[in-house]
Amino acid sequence: MKKPAYMTVEEMREHPEWIEAEEEEGGTRFRGTTTPELAFKYFSDKNGRILECGPHRGAFTKLLIKHGYSDIHAVDFYDGLMGVDRQKVDFRMVDMNTEKLSYPDNYFSGVTAWGIGEHMENPYLFMREVHRVLKPGGVVIFALPNVAHIMSRLVFLKRATFPRWSVLNNHIAIFTRDIIQKTFLRSFDLVETVYTRPGIQYLFFHHFDRFLPANEWFGNYVVYIMKKR
């Protein structure tokens, strides 16, 4: 069977060799939506219980351990953690599209979801579960490709499709600001919106990336920091 552009949970578990292997701090997934300094800013209590959703190979998990966080939990569709001290991480394999998170209510002080929402078939069930397991006042960091980027706008105008959600990649869920507002912000307060990695990754335009601002028009990724009411 040929590797499909979008893999179901069953396909990921059956064909782990299809899953992207690169995951060091310089890897494409880590350099994408992962913004460790935001986690360190909002998860100031290193004894607080932290849940990482979608750790993939574990680059961010290793950073949490390195920076002294002592109560780390992680869930993913498949077990891909590599080079992580399992004694320091409670890892559980969960289909976050269909299954509840196997934790009690009001359990975590912080949750991260670095670039997994756009891959999910049911991100709304997932976020309801994140809300359930967070303590009141707890923070979730939800990072995504920026659909409002200028190239998304221009390509949609011409082709009626978004380049970051093309038939050739594995992104299937799109979150505009209005979708975030009328779904997730029913239950969370928006603390901060951060745009990261400014650039235009097309043709010769990438040579000008260093001159571009990290905002809605040019940030390749957007991070929503939300607090449970």
Instruction: Report the CATH number that the domain containing residue 51 is assigned in CATH.
Output: 3.40.50.150
- Which range (87-101, 141-155, 156-170, 198-212) has the least confidence? 198-212
Per the model's pLDDT, the better-predicted residue between 136 and 81 turns out to be: 136
Total tally of structural domains belonging to the chain: 1
Sequence-ordered list of residues with C-beta below 8 angstroms from that of 17, at least 6 positions apart, any chain? none
In this structure, is residue 3 part of a structural domain?
A: no
80 located within any domain: yes
Q: What is the pLDDT of residue 33?
A: 85
Task: Encode pLDDT of 102-131 as tens digits.
Answer: 999 999 999 999 999 999 999 999 999 999
Query: Whole-structure pTM over 0.85, yes or no?
Result: yes
For position 209, what pLDDT does the model report?
A: 76
With respect to residue 100, please indicate whether it lies within any of the assigned structural domains: yes
Tell me the two tokens of residue 137.
């006042």
DSSP 187: T
pLDDT in tens, 93-102: 999 999 999 9
What does the pLDDT look like over 215-227, one tens digit per residue?
999 999 999 999 9
Q: Does residue 2 form part of some domain? A: no
Domain ranges, residue 181: 9-228
Q: Residue 82 has which token pair?
A: 């590599």
Instruction: State the distance between the two ends of the chain, measured CA to CA, in whole angstroms.
Output: 46
Confidence of residue 148 (pLDDT cuts 50, 70, 90): very high
As a whole number, mean pLDDT of residues 73-84 equals 94
Alpha helices in the chain (DSSP H): 9-14, 28-32, 36-42, 59-66, 123-133, 150-159, 177-182
Residue 19, pLDDT score: 84
Q: pLDDT band at residue 21, thresholds of 50, 70 and 90?
A: low
156 CB-contact burial (10 Å; exposed 0-12 / middle 13-18 / buried 19+): middle
Q: Where is 35: in which H helix or E strand?
A: none
User: 209 lies in a domain?
Assistant: yes
* Residue 180 belongs to a domain: yes
Predicted local distance difference test score (pLDDT) of residue 120: 97
Does residue 186 form part of some domain? yes
Angle 17-141-155 from CA coordinates, rounded to 5°: 70
How much of the chain exceeds pLDDT 90, in percent? 82
- pLDDT score at 27: 54
At residue 81, does pLDDT exceed 80? Answer: yes
| CA distance linking residue 48 with residue 155, whole number of Å | 43
Query: Is residue 54 included in any domain, yes or no?
Result: yes
Cα 41 off chain centre by: 17
